[in-house]
Every structure is written in structure tokens, then in C-alpha cells.
Amino acid sequence: MTDPRTSSALTVAAIQQHCSPDKAVSFASSERLIRQAAKGGAQLIVLQELHATQYFCQTEDTEIFELAEPIPGPTSEWLSNLARELHVVLVGSIFERRMNGVYHNTAVVFDTDGTLAGLYRKMHIPDDPGFYEKFYFTPGDATFNDGQSGFTPIQTSIGKLGVLVCWDQWYPEAARLMALAGADILIYPTAIGWDVTDDPTEQARQLDAWVTVQRGHAIANNLPVIAPNRVGVEPDPSGHSHGIHFWGNSFICGPQGEFLARGNETDECVLAVTLDRNRTESVRRIWPYLRDRRIDAYGDIVKRVRD
């Protein structure tokens, strides 16, 4: 058997699915698609953001905190068992209860033996109409107890994964810090969609911006990107809006931003491609962005605004 640590070929998959308010129903859909991906040879499988339920941040409701779980907990145990059984690296998403009053939007990574390779707590938290995440989620820690940055890749048996979450995808700083720390792949589990009352031209602009900014991170850092997103219209439980039409369009692109696989806006799917892990090195030799960075001139980047 080829050692995944030394082979240049790595088969990866992104899961695009509908979600249910019932965790059991969502888990059944996820598991079906995970097994399909593993049967197709995927070594790394990535689920979308908050895949266990419908996207509950359309409203502010204290009862929703009952959905949160500790780590370890039921969802992490389910993900761990699947990773071990299928011998895959599995990236999932959990509404994490860290302690009383402290909750996170957390990506978890399980290695092929089912062990927790690491977790990433979403750093950038939006607060927009229909996306009231600041009510529910505490931002991830800027540094861990061991002094590592919150933007630290997770080491697995198939490489270092630069896991970020949804709103993080709009920030080039997050992608760059992951790249500088040695990430082999950038991963963005996502839950994003349209206000169903937006006109088609505005919807097209929003979708194009979402795709383009992530392809830009791939290009600027010479890294492949995996971006799974959910599909389907999910109602606003409060009835104050028409809900969100999650636009799917999950994709995987290469280190020059080239599309390798892409879903549509309506259907569940497994996107699977085989990456050449030597590609990043070869591209960086001809487009040496990291070599030519003027780190002596970037001090103002840590200011909120330049005076």
C-alpha cells in the first residue's frame, strides 16, 4: 500500500448536502455521502459548516444553545468512529459548548485512526441580517496555551490542513498565516446563501465574489482550496424574513485557482479530485510570492486603520 505521507497523489472530497433541523436526519445524509466519498477512494473528506442541523443563526434564540455539545461529545464521537472505520481523515463541524456561557463554531479534524488531530475555532464572527453569529459564538483564541497562533495548521497523517471556517474566507490574512505556518491545503467549511428576495443580478455578484476571493487565496498562497457549502432553502424560524437560499457551488481548486471540481446550487453531491501535492512546490518556484514579501514594510497591517 502506498504511504499517504510520501505519495504525491492525494484524493480529497468535499460534501455538499441539505440539512435538517433533526440531527439524526442530517447525520444520515452526511454518513451516506461520506461513505460514497470513501468508496471512491477519498483520503480526506470535508463536511460543510454546522452540518448537524439547519443554520440556526437566522434568529437570536437562547433555546438554541441546547444544541451545543462538548468535545468530546456525541457528534465528535460519531465523526471519530467514521474516520476510524473508513480509514480517512475527516473534517467536521460542531456547535461547541466549551464551558458555561462560552460557545464556539468549531471545525474538528479526525485522523485515520479516529484520534482527534486538532480543532479550529472560527476566528472571524459575522453579525449581519440572517447571520447573527455573534449572539452564539465566541471567537477562537488568538493564541493557544502552548503559544501557537489560532491560525495554525492541523497536522494529520496526510499533511498539514489549514482549516478555517466560512466568514474567515473573506480575510487574506487568515489564509496567508496558515500558508506561512506550512499548510498544505486551505479548507473552508461554509454555510452561505442568498436572501431569497435579492434580484438575480445581485445574487450573481455575491456568488461570484465568494468564489473569487477563495480562488484568490489559492493563487496568492499557491495552495489548493476545498470549500464545501450547503444547499437548500432554510426558513427563518421567526418568520421575519423569507429565509436563506443556500447556494451550494462547493468547489475544489488547485494552487493557481484552477477549478478541479464544482457543485451546482441545488443538488447534494460529493466532489472528489486527486491533488498532486508536488504542485505547490513547482508553482512557488516560478511565482515566488513568499520569497518577495516585504515583511519590513508591513507593520501597519496590524492596525485597525492607518492614520
Catalytic residues: 49, 122, 166
Q: Are strands 44-46 and 9-16 parallel, antiparallel or unpaired?
A: parallel
Nine-digit cell string for 2: 502506498
What amino acid is encoded at 55 in this protein?
Y
Preceding peptide of 255 cis, ω within 30°? no
What amino acid is encoded at 96 in this protein?
E
CA distance 62 to 142: 26
- Long-range (24+ apart) CB contacts under 8 A made by 232-235 are 232/18, 232/19, 233/196, 234/19, 234/54, 234/55, 234/58, 234/193
CA distance 218 to 169: 11
